[in-house]
Amino acid sequence: MRESATDAIDEWMVGRGLISASLFRLEKEIPLYSLSLPFPFWMEQQPKALRIDVELPQEDVRSELSRIYERLHCPRSPLFDLPVVRIADIPGLVFRYRVADGEHYVYVEDLAEKRLAGYTVFNRLIELDRRADRYLRAPHSRYAPAYQRRGITTAIYSWWFRTNCSLISGARQSPGAHALWHSLARRREMFFVELRNKELTCLGRTVELCVQEDLHTRMIMLADGWDLRRLAKATRMKARVA
């Protein structure tokens, strides 16, 4: 009989020495996903690079942000008068929030300069099945050069991780997003997965370069209070068989 997704994840952990075989046998009476276990392998080393996307010219970014800012202040626009959410105390900036079709948008407005600093959107991925779609979103950010490296996106990610929803990388990352994921990985649980035919397969904390270059390889960063076993159970994620 074929093993369940949780059984496969547990055996994969045993094979890699992440939990002991005796503890694995205990699962017959107590499911391993119900136990609180440390996972020191998350901090073994920094994740390697995934596919890097090309950044847009700065003028294109400024033009896009200018158009969005006009919509934020146009009474006929669905973006008009969006609620302000408390994400971070950054002088002069406010964070406006919108949800549309299951996607979450955070617009960062500079009140003094009367312009949009940038935005972050947490997209749904059509590659995910309906079960995984409940727990994963793919972030995308765009900020004017003057507002980059000021901790804005880090603050938004930290706020998002408290919403009980984890992050999955898209097919490509901008250099800024790539650097941010590397930085956050120092203190958050993150691992590689294969996303193919709407199914997730856990690949572990590190993978070979050739695997990283595959468009089906993604990274997952867990929300607060989540671990690998819990996400595997919730999404029916499989373990890669060696």
Tens of pLDDT along the chain (242 residues) come to 444 555 555 555 555 544 444 434 434 333 333 333 333 333 334 444 555 555 668 888 999 999 999 999 999 999 999 999 999 999 999 999 999 999 999 999 999 999 999 999 999 999 999 999 999 999 999 999 999 989 999 999 999 999 999 999 988 877 778 788 878 988 999 999 999 999 999 999 888 888 877 889 999 999 999 999 999 999 999 987 65
Residue 72, token pair as written in the block: 């934020």
The answer to whether residues 72 and 79 touch, using CB atoms and an 8 Å cutoff, is yes
Q: What is the β-pairing status of strands 84-85 and 93-100?
A: antiparallel
Return the DSSP state at 188. S
The predicted pLDDT at position 7 comes to 57
Q: Provide the H-helix boundaries in 73-144.
A: 130-133
The answer to whether residues 87 and 156 touch, using CB atoms and an 8 Å cutoff, is yes
Helix, strand, coil percentages in the chain from 3-state DSSP, rounded to 5: 35, 25, 40
Cα angle vertex 131, ends 1, 156, to 5°?
135
